[in-house]
Structure 1
């Protein structure tokens, strides 16, 4: 993209804050406009206030941005993405998950011949850009002698049960909220191929899923646990590699990790302790998105795979 990137923000709620903060720190980013019918005045962006609209179509009638960031409820993503594609030439970054069901995904895929969906639509799979995830992926790529990833165990816990019905209204279920994060993180390491089981429990507050994948010519299985039945947030993933007894363990809450083999520490990663977790994920995400070759984990093809797995039902 050019040295000056005009950005249109759609949705100014809590989710949008990380996007605004990270882009405000990038000198090439210019806040062109903001859209949110529930907000009377948008937040300042590097000391200036962008033009504000209640409707995306109205905003695109007055502006031609280079990037449109959509951070609204998932059910609105399809319609807003379609408007962004047909009324502008901008790249479109949509908060995860891209769509709320497979029918919406199919309608977006049908637009590809008209609006270059595969080249312009990206999904904010921020967990794949977490520092501990990138560190672990680099370690595994650097050591082919460790063998393929033969087993993955991932557990994501959030204290949303404390929010009661508000949690279900905002996030739908534990699987709908965390499953897409686990699947997109998994796509950083392996090629997910099929969800082989999915069990949702506790009225949707917990889930257990298994996902088959390919790694260096071998088939492996990932066990994915998510739950809101906790008083604290805690997320972690363990990768077991080949026949070498190597394990790579990462803590997504502490942004740390280590690799070990038969009681020997092989490598370790620590966080600086000063950078908020979401900022640490969104910074490299935007570095990639604003480059000439965005990471495939952001791209539409990967999103299609993740969405189909995420919405699989037995």
Structure 2
């Protein structure tokens, strides 16, 4: 028997609801405290209401958590990470993206001499844990004879055109919003080497980027399309293993996939339709994080690689007021995710 993991949750917006739902399923976790500067209602966790604070410093003065989860606006991440790492011995899980500018990333690197950044800081790259991504990664690992991935095409569409200026205020641009999800997903299949090209159109509502990668001794290019000019959400990725002629297609919206070679269907993946998409992402994410051997995609080195490519594609732009997706002060609620 081991003691339960004491979790402190900072930020009680939209994405916090998913964290709470998944954590409540785990009998090895207790919610030690919550933090949010806004006047929010009490959080009920398995019938109990944990202590609530208006600031992280107050909470850390009163508690000794094992894990601090930061579900706050992206432009608050660097400061809160430093508080949590230096003010406690807890591991820290930060909502993606880890930071929105390279200067903040450099600041976190400098903390490594004062706190175990690589051993304690993790980023919630949840798309890398989606069931269809996990299936495809295991499929490729089980068939090394298929050879390297030689090309990837990924298209992420969200209907934010309907929100007009509000979408830009909350999400900044299509690449800023979707790029980090696409890049983290790709790390399950290939080793990213750098941004090759980027073109943002429609005032930032659409993007076309190419990213270099290595796979099983070969090299290839991933083509990443994202856009808000659509009537509904749609996210798909295709991987080509050119030497063997195998293609793997995964639908991130439906959480399904299949592999084929010419006219032959090689493998299929589906789901029962009962699990909400983000819950399906965060269940395995927390299982990995709390296992004692977290997946490398959660680690600081992966976040450094993803952030460097992501920010190169965004022209190194800093955050706008309100932070990242679902985190702005608009209708989606502050400190969302």
- TM-score of the alignment, normalized to the shorter chain, above 0.5: yes
Q: Give the Å deviation of 1:156.
A: 0.2
Deviations 1:42-79 (A, max 9, x none): 32111111111111011101111000000111000000
Q: Give yes or no for the alignment of 1:178 onto 2:178.
A: yes
* Superposition CA RMSD, Å: 1.1
- Partner of 2:312: helix, strand, or coil? coil
Contact 1:12 1:39 in 2 (8 A): no
Distance 1:141 1:179 in 2: 25
Deviations 1:70-113 (A, max 9, x none): 01110000001110001001010000000010000000000011
Which consecutive unaligned segments of at least 5 residues does structure 2 have? 316-337
Q: For residue 37 of structure 2, what is the aligned residue in structure 1?
A: 37
Q: For residue 236 of structure 2, what is the aligned residue in structure 1?
A: 236
Q: Give the Å deviation of 1:166.
A: 1.9
Deviations 1:254-289 (A, max 9, x none): 000000001100000011110010000100000000
Deviations 1:14-48 (A, max 9, x none): 01111110001111111111111113333211111
Q: For residue 68 of structure 1, what is the aligned residue in structure 2?
A: 68
Q: Give yes or no for the alignment of 1:22 onto 2:22.
A: yes
Q: For residue 101 of structure 2, what is the aligned residue in structure 1?
A: 101
Distance 2:239 2:214 in 1: 13
Distance 1:262 1:244 in 2: 10
TM-score (norm 1): 0.98
Deviations 1:134-160 (A, max 9, x none): 000011111011110000000000111
Contact 1:153 1:238 in 2 (8 A): yes
Q: For residue 143 of structure 1, what is the aligned residue in structure 2?
A: 143
User: 1:1-314 to 2 correspondence within 5 Å?
Assistant: 2-313=2-313
Moved more, 193-202 or 246-255: 193-202
Distance 1:39 1:14 in 2: 15
- Partner of 1:238: helix, strand, or coil? strand
Q: Give the Å deviation of 1:3.
A: 3.7
Give the 3 Å change call, closer, same or farther, for CA 268–3 of structure 1 in structure 2: farther
Q: Give the Å deviation of 1:242.
A: 3.0
Which consecutive unaligned segments of at least 5 residues does structure 1 have? none
- Partner of 2:194: helix, strand, or coil? strand
Deviations 1:194-217 (A, max 9, x none): 100111111111111000000000
Q: For residue 333 of structure 2, what is the aligned residue in structure 1?
A: none
Deviations 1:286-309 (A, max 9, x none): 000001110000000111000000
Q: Give the Å deviation of 1:231.
A: 1.0
- Partner of 2:156: helix, strand, or coil? strand
Contact 1:12 1:42 in 2 (8 A): no
Moved more, 39-48 or 206-215: 39-48
Distance 2:12 2:170 in 1: 15
Count of aligned pairs between the two proteins: 314
Give the 3 Å change call, closer, same or farther, for CA 2–311 of structure 1 in structure 2: farther
Q: Give the Å deviation of 1:2.
A: 4.7
Distance 2:228 2:18 in 1: 23
Distance 1:226 1:209 in 2: 9
